Structure 1
Amino acid sequence: MQIPVIVQTTVLLTLSNVFMTFAWYGHLKGLASKPWWIAALISWGIALFEYLLQVPANRIGYTEMSLAQLKILQEAITLTVFVPFALFFMGQPFKLDYVWAALCLVGAVYFIFRS
C-alpha cells in the first residue's frame, strides 16, 4: 500500500518543523547562559536534521502539489508545531491571538488547496 503524497509530505514537514523550532528557539531557554556562538553551533547541528527531513518532504510533495501549496502547508504546520512548543517548552502564556492566527492559516490552506 502506497502512502499518499500529502500524508508523506505532511509527516516529514511536521518532523522537520519540530527540529527547526528547537534549532531557532530552543537555545533561548536551554543555552541562555552560553555564548551566542555555542548556541549557533548547536542550533546548526539540530537544523541539519530539519534539512534531512524538509528536502525530501518538499521533493515528494512537489510531485503532486504546487509550490504555493507546499509553502502554505509548511506555514500551517509551523504554527501547529510552534504553539505547543511556546506553551509547554518555553512556558509562554496562551494568547487568543494564537486562535485567530490558526483560523487565518486554515483559511489560507482552504484557498490554496480548493482547486
Structure 2
Amino acid sequence: MAFFLPPLLLVASNVFMTFAWYGHLKHKGVSLALVVLVSWGIAFFEYCLAVPANRLGSTVYSAAQLKTMQEVITLVVFAGFSVLWLKESLTWNHAIGFALIAAGAAFVFKG
C-alpha cells in the first residue's frame, strides 16, 4: 500500500497545484489579487495531499526518488492540463523534451 499510495496522492496534489498556478490563465480579466487569493486556497488542498504523500512515501522511496517522481508527475499532469484546459497543443519538441526528462528520471530509480 505504501508503494502505490504516494504516487496517487502526488498525482492528485499536482492536479490542484496546476490549477492553482495556471488555471487563471483562461481568466486574464480577473484581478491579480483575487487570482493570488484563490490560488492560495487551491494550494491548501495540494499541501493536504503532497505532505502525506511525501511522509508516507519516505518509508518506501528516498527523498531524491520522491522529488523525481513529483517532477515527472508534474510534467504529465501539466501536459494534459495544457491540452484539455488551456486548449494549447503540445508539439514534438515538448514530447521529446518531456521524454528526455523522464529518461533522466529513470536513472534516479536505477538500483
Report TM bin, short chain: over 0.9
For residue 103 of structure 1, report the CA deviation from its aligned partner. 1.5
| Counterpart residue number, 1:75 | 71
Q: Say how many residue pairs are matched.
A: 111
Q: 1:101 to 1:6 in 2, by over 3 A?
A: farther
Alignment of 1:17 with 2:14, yes or no, is: yes
- State the Cα RMSD in Å: 1.1
2:4 is paired with a residue of what secondary structure? helix
| Residue type at the aligned position of 1:56 | P
How far did 1:34 drift?
A: 1.2
**Alignment partners' CA distance in 2, 1:23 and 1:75:** 16
Query: Mind listing any 5+ residue stretches in structure 1 that lack a counterpart?
Result: none
Residue 28, structure 1, aligned to residue 22, structure 2: no
Q: What TM-score do you get using the length of structure 1 for normalisation? A: 0.91
Aligned residue in 1 for 2:59: 63
Helix, strand or coil for the counterpart of 2:15?
Answer: helix
Deviation at residue 72 of structure 1 after TM alignment: 0.5
Assess if the C-alpha contact under 8 Å between 1:20 and 1:47 holds in 2.
yes
Listed as ranges, the gaps of 5+ residues in structure 2 are none
Q: 1:8 corresponds to which residue?
A: 5
Segments ≥4 residues shifted beyond 2 Å: none
Structure-2 separation of matches of 1:20 and 1:97: 24
Which of 87, 100, 105 is the equivalent residue of 1:91? 87
Instruction: Give TM-score scaled by structure 2 length.
Output: 0.94
- Offset from partner CA, 1:26-49 (integer Å, 9 cap, x none): 0111x3111100000000000100
Aligned partners of 2:64, 2:52: CA distance in 1, in Å?
17
Per-residue CA deviation, residues 31-73 of structure 1 (Å, 9 max, x unaligned), is: 3111100000000000100000000000011112111101110
